[in-house]
Amino acid sequence: MPTHQQPRPDPQSRAAGPAAGGPAAAGGTAVVVVAAGSGTRLGLGIPKALVPLGGRPLLAHALDGVIASGVATRIVVVLPPGDTELVGVCAGYAPAHPIHTVTGGASRTASVRAGLDAAGPGIDHVLVHDAARCLTPGWVFSGVVEALRAGADAVVPAVPVVDTIKSVVASASPRIGPEIVAGTHERSTLRAVQTPQGFRLGRLLAAHAEASTWEADRAVSVTDDAALMEAVGETVYVVPGAPESLKITTRIDLLLAETLVSNGYEEQS
């Protein structure tokens, strides 16, 4: 786990729920949990959100975190087409915490848009969260919402990069090596971005509408909603993320998450 990181904010200094103050606190906050991934790189033959972690699906851990954070007026989960098992996971939270489900699209962008369309009335802000980051602490959610209520239109949690990052180009001597180093980036200015990413809902919907008119190659270059907001000229603010908010993509990621859960991490966060 990285040792160089931004200081962890004091959870007591964070707004605890939808009613907390700030100049933009009048409307509600929807959390869209994107759980439509196939999990191909995990190689377990089931949707990623169904992969067991400590005996429960990844999606259940993600929803536990959203609910415990206290920020959500409405929770929307975007599921794979034809799914029934994950619908059952979501239904298990009713009636105390009703979870609304929608079917995802052919791309992540289409899946997020489906979730945004289900945000419902009275929503000013939306958090887009990846179910694969299922151990995200509640204080990260609160920090994103606090920045939105302070006036930001786009916010991402992030942690400092601890590895040296180099750009590469194709090698002229592939027999020696397929690539050569083209440059080394200044590490102090780099951040690894996580979720939940927070937005003023109207601004994000407008950005999605604009992106729908783009050529395919430009649209493909947008890897998340924060990048979309950058592309349309919005300022994206950065707040502290958490090393524990790892994205479970490979078997090694899953093993690390199992270690965190087995050592009582969720009870501590």
Q: Are 245 and 136 in contact (CB under 8 A)?
A: yes
Q: Are 124 and 24 in contact (CB under 8 A)?
A: yes
Tokens 């190659």 belong to 217
Rounded to an integer, what is the distance from CA 45 to the centroid of its chain? 23
Q: Is 167 helix (H, G, I), strand (E, B) or coil?
A: strand
CA torsion sign for 197, 6, 246, 164 is positive
CA torsion sign for 211, 212, 218, 222 is positive
pLDDT of residue 125: 98
CA torsion sign for 99, 103, 107, 111 is negative
- Round to whole Å and give the CA distance between 111 and 131: 13
Kindly list the domain boundaries of the chain, sorted by start residue.
Answer: 22-159+191-268
Name residue 169's beta-bridge partners: 180
Please check whether the domain covering 22-159+191-268 is classified as CATH 3.90.550.10: yes
pLDDT of residue 45: 79
H or E stretch covering 117: helix 108-117
Cβ within 8 Å of residue 186, ≥6 positions away: none
Which pLDDT tens digits describe the chain residue by residue (269 residues)? 333 444 444 433 333 344 333 333 458 999 999 998 777 777 777 889 999 999 999 999 999 999 999 999 999 999 999 889 999 999 999 999 999 999 998 888 889 999 999 999 999 999 999 999 999 999 999 999 999 999 999 999 999 999 999 999 999 999 999 999 999 999 999 999 999 999 999 999 999 999 888 887 777 778 899 999 999 999 999 999 999 999 999 999 999 999 999 988 766 66
pLDDT of residue 267: 64
Instruction: Report pTM.
Output: 0.87
